């Protein structure tokens, strides 16, 4: 029935968006969202109550991820008219509110010191999560590196896009610094040098499918949260400070992990093409760290002092979700289990068949 509705709704010359095929639902929230998205745009009734954690839950995070994906490359078979359907936006707002409340519960009240750069460095230094890069560098197997890359594909195949939403929201030195960083992320305008392209090549060197969204069914809520938090901040002007804080912390915690990931790829016998993504980040992010902390984050706090607390909140949110992500992967591997929800080979085959 849903397929018949879609056929009637498609205009002449309709082309499928380059986004992922619809994932399998994981509970009442994602089932509700996907059931309606696979029809022509219409008023969506209220969603059923959540049955898992809005911060880490597979169902809640997938439902929110599907709503957000409409603002990126869309979802195959889903009408573009859904992007701004008021009732779907209202449903997304409820999902976001629950997500934000949980972030605030975990992070607590932020009281900036007046020196945002120092606050961000303190946030980073205060991180107490396990080191995923050290684990992979020291004892990660090829299978673990493949799983890690599958997890990271949710963000890396659209690297920089959510942070780019901040560009029109600022002016002055913060905007200039952000553009400098983003220009590097987009390869200076060369497709082959775009970081998303380099990550795709890294996936292929590991024998993985680099198609955007190919592994969505594999990714647990702890992984989706790392991307959803950036979309949350990026899509709301009121959280523009948090978006900058997230990016600043992201850049300031990159160099050492990227060095380790490159070393792990080399140790596992992956050649230069597969290592290139990490190699580029090692050189670029050493400079980005300074630009992000001093020119972008501190520059924004100087221009808009009221955003200081939100900038620090964004950095703490980044640390929180990344620590949860690292815990999940390392705990799974330590227990001799896969960190993915389903076998990636099965996920790719099922997506290719449209089932």
b/e map of 90-107 (b: 16 or more CB within 10 Å)? ebbebbbebbbebbeeeb
Domains of the chain plus CATH, in order, are: 2-105 (no CATH), 113-353 (1.20.910.10)
Residue 61 vs residues 245, 316, 351: alpha-carbon distances, Å? 22, 19, 20
pTM of this structure: 0.93
Which one has a higher pLDDT value, 311 or 353?
A: 311
CB within 8 Å of 23: residues ≥ 6 apart? 30, 34, 62, 66, 216, 217
* pLDDT digits 0-9 by tens, 167-220: 999 999 999 999 999 999 999 999 999 999 999 999 999 999 999 999 999 999
Phi first, then psi: give them for residue 73, nearest 5 degrees.
Answer: -105, 5
Residue 10 has pLDDT above 70, yes or no: no
Q: Are 173 and 295 in contact (CB under 8 A)?
A: yes
Instruction: Quote the CA–CA distance of 180 and 215 in Å, as a whole number.
Output: 31
- Give the pLDDT confidence score for residue 5 in this predicted structure: 28
Nearest to 217 by CA among 32, 354, 324: 354
């Amino acid at each position: 029935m849903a397929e018949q509705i879609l056929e009637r709704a498609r205009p002449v010359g309709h082309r499928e968006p380059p986004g992922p095929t619809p994932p399998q639902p994981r509970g009442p929230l994602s089932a509700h969202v996907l059931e309606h998205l696979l029809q022509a745009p219409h008023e969506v009734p209220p969603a059923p109550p959540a049955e898992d954690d809005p911060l880490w839950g597979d169902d809640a995070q997938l439902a929110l991820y599907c709503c957000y994906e409409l603002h990126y490359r869309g979802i195959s078979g889903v009408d573009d008219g859904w992007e701004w359907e008021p009732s779907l936006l209202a449903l997304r707002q409820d999902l976001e509110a629950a997500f934000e409340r949980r972030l605030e519960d975990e992070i607590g009240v932020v009281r900036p010191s007046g020196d945002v750069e120092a606050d961000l460095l303190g946030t980073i230094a205060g991180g107490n999560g396990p080191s995923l890069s050290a684990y992979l560098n020291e004892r990660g197997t090829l299978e673990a590196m493949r799983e890690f890359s599958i997890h990271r594909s949710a963000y890396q195949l659209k690297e920089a896009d959510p942070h780019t939403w901040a560009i029109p929201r600022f002016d002055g030195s913060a905007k200039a610094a952000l553009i400098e960083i983003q220009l590097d992320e987009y390869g200076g305008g060369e497709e082959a040098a775009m970081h998303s392209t380099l990550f795709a090549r890294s996936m292929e060197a590991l024998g993985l499918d680099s198609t955007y969204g190919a592994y969505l069914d594999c990714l647990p809520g702890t992984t989706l949260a790392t991307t959803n938090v950036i979309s949350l901040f990026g899509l709301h002007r009121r959280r523009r400070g948090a978006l900058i804080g997230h990016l600043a912390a992201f850049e300031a915690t990159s160099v050492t992990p990227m060095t380790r990931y490159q070393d792990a790829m080399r140790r596992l016998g992956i050649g230069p093409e597969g290592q290139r993504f990490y190699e580029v980040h090692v050189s670029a992010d050493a400079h980005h760290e300074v630009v992000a902390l001093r020119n972008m984050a501190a520059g924004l706090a100087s221009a808009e002092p009221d955003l200081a607390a939100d900038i620090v909140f964004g950095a703490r949110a980044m640390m929180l979700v990344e620590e949860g992500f690292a815990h999940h992967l390392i705990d799974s591997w330590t227990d001799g289990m896969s960190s993915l929800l389903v076998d990636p080979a099965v996920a790719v085959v099922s997506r290719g068949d449209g089932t």
